């Protein structure tokens, strides 16, 4: 009775996808574990009803030594016994992980899907269950997700089908038991070991105590979310087509429902290759409404104004040069400006306040400067003490606090033998500030682009 429920659920799932046609070939991705063995047996059971051809593919990851060989042999014997044609692919995720500097899990997944890509079949069926789906949904919820993310594992994605999505892990085991069908058990858990296992062993059991059929219950919820997400996606695409009035620009956002505004902004960010998180979306939606600028990363800004949102990239500066000695007169700055340096003599009667009024730009006490003055970019370890403060600060922090992101990398610094005496946007170090004793002023002016 229970076993029957499994093939019925698989049949229902396949029928609702409206994609399988008679005489097509479905290739079952077979690891040898309970889920994939159940899927294979179930597809074979349904073969007469669906009129399809079943094949199988086993990917040997060679990550678990003798156990990997055991799994391959098991799959070969199982398929031989069932009269199913099996393709075996050998992959090397360990090498790929080393080469691409990624985790073995990720490399294994990539290798597996690369192998699947070579399979000659109309469809490839993978054995994701309702239990996997619940775990994925909880995982996404915990990390923060959009409606789309919460819909978890899609029953159909390209030519991949997941016919077991309405079947729980327990049902899988009952089905195999009713058939007297054995399977292998993976001694490790390749995917997302830590998080996935925590969810499986701690969160899900707690949820099952609240509702023993939580997997089935949630699978209904996920189906409903998938339908609604699909509708929203259609609506958002139509809205995007209207609002996307130029490269990196959305106009007329204020005429859309907020839900569509957010989806359109997410699509704009995706197009620009910017990762799109919930707090950022909220900020950009507010930006489009209220106007303003927001730095997205490096030289990239979002600019909002009365329902229009644009992603702008500020011109990137030239490569940074080495330090050059400051010369009186014009110094070409690598950000395309010109720094004009000159010496002024101050009469003893003038006080500091007046000096600052007179020279709107930076003024340093020339006689307090030690040795030669260099013009250079900020270096790591630069510190300076500002006037009126009893401590030195990391220059990096001062620049972050005073300069917009796109100018931080190319911020100019003047340094003498003892270190930084002046930094663009920040001002001059306390030790070279003019005072009542100052006689010679080094006046710095930044002139427009050269």
- Adjacency order of strands within the sheet including 85-90: 85-90, 53-60, 25-29, 123-125, 160-161, 156-157
In order, the DSSP letters of 124-148 are EE----HHHHHHHHHHHHHH---HH
* Residue 31 annotated as part of some ligand binding site: yes
* Residue 192 annotated as part of some ligand binding site: no
Residues 6+ apart with CB under 8 A from 159: 121, 122, 123, 124
* Residue 34 annotated as part of some ligand binding site: yes
Comparing CB distances to a second copy, the nearer of 227 and 342 is 227
* Residue 178 annotated as part of some ligand binding site: no
Residue 157, classified by CB atoms within 10 Å of its CB into exposed (0-12), middle (13-18) or buried (19+), is exposed
Phi, psi of 287 (to 5 degrees): -60, -45
Q: Rounded to whole angstroms, how far apart are CA atoms 72 and 117?
A: 19
Q: Rounded to whole angstroms, how far apart are CA atoms 170 and 43?
A: 18
Comparing CB distances to a second copy, the nearer of 184 and 218 is 218
How many other C-beta atoms are found inside a 10 Å radius of the C-beta of residue 213? Answer: 12
Comparing CB distances to a second copy, the nearer of 133 and 331 is 133
Comparing CB distances to a second copy, the nearer of 231 and 328 is 231
Smallest gap, in angstroms, from Cβ of residue 176 to a second copy?
Answer: 26
**355 with 371: CB under 8 angstroms?**
no
Smallest gap, in angstroms, from Cβ of residue 104 to a second copy?
Answer: 21
* Residue 158 annotated as part of some ligand binding site: no
Residues 6+ apart with CB under 8 A from 299: 313, 314, 315, 316, 405, 406
Comparing CB distances to a second copy, the nearer of 261 and 308 is 261
Comparing CB distances to a second copy, the nearer of 198 and 356 is 198
Q: Rounded to whole angstroms, how far apart are CA atoms 98 and 113?
A: 18
Q: Rounded to whole angstroms, how far apart are CA atoms 293 and 157?
A: 38
Q: Rounded to whole angstroms, how far apart are CA atoms 269 and 115?
A: 32
- List contacts with a second copy (CB under 8 A): 137-139, 141-147, 150, 195, 198-199, 202-203, 206-207, 209-211, 214, 217-218, 220-221, 223-225, 227-228, 230-232, 234-235, 257-260, 262, 278-279, 281-282
Smallest gap, in angstroms, from Cβ of residue 229 to a second copy?
Answer: 8
Residue 212, classified by CB atoms within 10 Å of its CB into exposed (0-12), middle (13-18) or buried (19+), is exposed
Q: Is the dihedral of CA 149, 152, 154, 158 positive or negative?
A: positive
Comparing CB distances to a second copy, the nearer of 209 and 380 is 209
Comparing CB distances to a second copy, the nearer of 137 and 153 is 137
Q: Which residues lie across from 427 on neighbouring strands?
A: 423
Q: Rounded to whole angstroms, how far apart are CA atoms 84 and 44?
A: 9
With residue 324 as reference, give the H or E element that holds it: strand 324-325
Comparing CB distances to a second copy, the nearer of 281 and 394 is 281
Q: Which residues lie across from 341 on neighbouring strands?
A: 329, 444
The distance from CA 330 to its chain's CA centroid, rounded to whole angstroms, is 45
Smallest gap, in angstroms, from Cβ of residue 102 to a second copy?
Answer: 21
Q: Is the dihedral of CA 147, 153, 158, 162 positive or negative?
A: negative
* Residue 229 annotated as part of some ligand binding site: no
With residue 407 as reference, give the H or E element that holds it: helix 405-408
Smallest gap, in angstroms, from Cβ of residue 305 to a second copy?
Answer: 20
- From the annotation, which residues make up the binding site for ATP? 31-36
- From the annotation, which residues make up the binding site? 31-36
């Amino acid at each position: 009775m229970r076993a029957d429920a499994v093939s019925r659920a698989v049949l229902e799932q396949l029928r609702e996808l409206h994609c399988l046609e008679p005489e097509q070939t479905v290739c079952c991705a077979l690891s040898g574990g309970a889920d994939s063995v159940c899927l294979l047996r179930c597809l074979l059971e349904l073969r007469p009803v669906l009129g399809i051809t079943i094949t199988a593919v086993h990917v040997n990851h060679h990550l678990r030594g003798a156990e990997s060989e055991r799994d391959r042999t098991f799959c070969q014997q199982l398929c031989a016994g069932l009269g199913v044609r099996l393709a075996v692919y050998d992959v090397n995720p360990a090498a790929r992980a080393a080469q691409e500097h990624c985790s073995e899990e990720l490399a294994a997944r990539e290798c597996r899907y690369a192998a699947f890509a070579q399979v000659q079949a109309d469809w490839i069926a993978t054995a994701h269950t309702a239990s996997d789906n619940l775990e994925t949904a909880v995982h996404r919820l915990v990390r923060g997700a959009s409606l789309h993310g919460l819909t978890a594992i899609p029953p159909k994605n390209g030519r991949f089908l997941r016919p077991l999505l309405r079947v729980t892990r327990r049902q899988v085991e009952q089905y195999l038991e009713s058939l007297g069908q054995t399977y292998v058990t993976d001694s490790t858990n390749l995917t997302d070991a830590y998080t996935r296992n925590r969810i499986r062993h701690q969160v899900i059991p707690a949820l099952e105590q609240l509702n023993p059929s939580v997997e089935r219950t949630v699978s209904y919820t996920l189906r409903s979310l998938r339908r609604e997400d699909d509708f929203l996606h259609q609506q958002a695409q139509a809205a995007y087509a209207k609002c996307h009035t130029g490269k990196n620009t959305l106009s007329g956002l204020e005429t859309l429902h907020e839900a569509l505004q957010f989806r359109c902004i997410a699509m704009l960010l995706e197009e620009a290759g910017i990762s799109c998180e919930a707090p950022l979306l909220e900020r950009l939606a507010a930006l489009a409404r209220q106007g303003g600028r927001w730095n997205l990363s490096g030289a990239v800004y979002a600019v909002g104004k009365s329902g229009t949102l644009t992603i702008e990239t500020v011109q990137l500066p030239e490569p940074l040069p080495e330090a050059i000695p400051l010369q009186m007169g014009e110094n070409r700055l690598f950000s395309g400006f010109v720094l004009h340096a000159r010496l002024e003599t101050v009469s003893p009667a003038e006080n500091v306040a007046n000096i600052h009024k007179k020279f709107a730009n930076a003024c340093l006490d020339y006689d307090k400067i030690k040795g030669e003055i260099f013009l250079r970019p900020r270096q790591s370890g630069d510190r300076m003490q500002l006037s009126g403060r009893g401590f030195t600060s990391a220059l990096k922090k001062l620049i972050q606090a005073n300069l917009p992101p796109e100018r931080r990398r190319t911020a100019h610094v003047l340094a003498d033998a003892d270190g930084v005496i002046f930094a663009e946007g920040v001002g001059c170090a306390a030790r070279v500030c003019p005072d009542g004793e100052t006689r010679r002023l080094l006046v710095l002016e930044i002139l427009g682009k050269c």
